[in-house]
Structure 1
Amino acid sequence: MNIALSPSVKYWLNFFHPVMMWALLLFSIYAAYLGLQVQRTRHAGGEEKKELIKGKYNVKHYQIGSILLGLMVAGAIGGMAVTYINNGKLFFGPHLLAGLGMTSIIAFSASLSPFMQKGANWARMTHILLNFTLLGLFAWQAITGVQIVQRLLTNA
């Protein structure tokens, strides 16, 4: 399958996925901060808890997490689509496999929300473990992604 796009459009499409993913990495760090504030609120007491509740960290964390889920899945599919459009194939390697793993991890992590809302501590701990694993993979993906972008720039 060969989609008829101008060489200029094909070239610039290569950079949509990396730019989007770097933005999502920063967004993920913010989501982690909000999650930590939710935990802090949960374990606080007295006046400190009242102050933290005003921050509505739980609502913000849930909303940011929902946006992250949608954009990360779209970004992963978009990155694979652009690679396929430009090369007629996907490049099987660590970057692709880790990206697919990350997409699975964020979906599984989000699926724990109903259990966490009912107070299931196992779901909360699994969610935290999955998301810190996701952040680690995401940071590694950023590095390997930069290497891919450098290769694209060198071959241009």
Structure 2
Amino acid sequence: MKIALILLSLCTLAQAFVAPKSAFASPHAAVSTMPQPTALFAHDDEDSSNNALSFPSVATTTAALWSLTATMASAAGPDWGIFEGRTGSLLHPVMMAGLLALSVSTALLGFNWRRQRTLGDEISALKKTLPDLGGAKSLTDAIAAAKSEETVNFALVNKLEDALPIQAEIAALTAERKELAQGNNRDKHFSQGATLAFLGTAFAIEGPLNTYARAGKLFPGPHLYAGAGLVVLWALAAACVPAMQKGSDTARTIHIGANLAGIGMFAWQVTSGIPILFKVLEFTKWP
């Protein structure tokens, strides 16, 4: 039906622009005779009905084409099916809530790995404060050896005993580092971070696509801006990894700062998305 209307409108428009018959006069006709000025503006009713352009016809046909084209354009949008329904619309907020939890977990793994890596420096610094053990294997053995001498050096014994709390702290830090090493924090942090960057970016794009599929437009605001900024921070954190592997403390600081800012922005995005979630539940249907 729409195709027939288009063809009919095009035929009407073409007929409206047919050239006047006088334009196809015989080539043998005299061309030296100039028409009178009054003839140029003469309006013969019979000729004008056949030869002149019909402005009402052109206007009517153009308006009909415009209206029909607009109607077809508005109805030509793709049918996204389940993607623009409630199921597809709820996929974004559910995934984002899960990714926020994954962000916190990844951050904790990162701090555990940093703690494990820096514990060696703390233990080394504490060992330097211990007194000379005189060849003994431990501080306890050195104290026992000092007390067993015929002439007890009480100053040395007191010095060794004062170092017992330091020895206990070293033992505690060593046990903590061993426990952290068993957790495989470095590999887990890298794996979860890569997963977060991939899924987070994918669903940061999926959200606006779903909104456009449902509403035909996007709604700029805090939620959209926070999502875009979050993807930028993820990219910045990932870009620092090669330099971090080479020992750059500046890259580590930027990496940690970007991820902490990302968690804060992520929380803001989830909070700003709650009103949108209510609207989705209101205006969508299952599936």
The TM-score with structure 1 as length reference comes to 0.93
- Residue 85 of structure 2 corresponds to which residue in structure 1? 11
CA–CA distance in structure 1, aligned partners of residues 239 and 189 of structure 2? 14
Cα shift readout 1:53-84 (whole Å, capped 9, x = no counterpart): 22110110001000000000001010011011
Match of 1:28 in 2: 103
2:232 corresponding residue in structure 1: 104
Q: Deviations over 1:94-145 (max 9, x none)?
A: 1111100101110111111111111100000111111010000101111111
State the distance in 2 between where 1:50 and 1:96 align: 44
Instruction: Tell me what 2:216 maps to.
Output: 88
- Secondary structure in 2 aligned to 1:17? helix
Corresponding residue SS for 1:92: coil
Q: Partners of 2:206 and 2:79 in 1: how far apart?
A: 17
Q: Give secondary structure in 1 for the equivalent of 2:80.
A: coil
Give the partner amino acid of 1:150.
Answer: F
Higher radius of gyration, 1 or 2: 2
Give % identity: 39
Is 1:78 the counterpart of 2:201 in the alignment? no
The number of aligned residues is 155
- The structure with the greater share of residues assigned to helix is 1
- State the match for 2:33 in structure 1: none
Amino acid at match of 1:69: A
TM alignment of 1:143-154, pairs within 5 A: 143-154=271-282
Superposition TM-score, scaled by structure 2 size = 0.52
Distance 2:83 2:190 in 1: 36
* Greater relative CO (CA pairs within 8 A, separation 6+): 1
**1:146: how far off?**
1.2
Are 1:137 and 2:137 matched, yes or no?
no
The equivalent position to 1:123 in structure 2, one of 224, 236, 251, is 251
Distance (Å, rounded) in 2 between the aligned partners of 1:53 and 1:87:
51
Worse-matched range after superposition: 121-130 or 48-57? 48-57
Amino acid at match of 2:95: M
Alpha-carbon separation, structure 2, partners of 1:89 and 1:41: 49
- Per-residue deviation at 1:4? 0.9
Q: Which consecutive aligned stretches of 4+ in structure 1 deviate over 3 angstroms post-superposition?
A: none
State the secondary structure of the residue aligned to 1:127: helix
Give the counterpart of 1:55 among 170, 183, 198: 183
> Any gaps of 5 or more consecutive residues in structure 2?
1-75, 121-173
Gaps of 5+ in 1: none
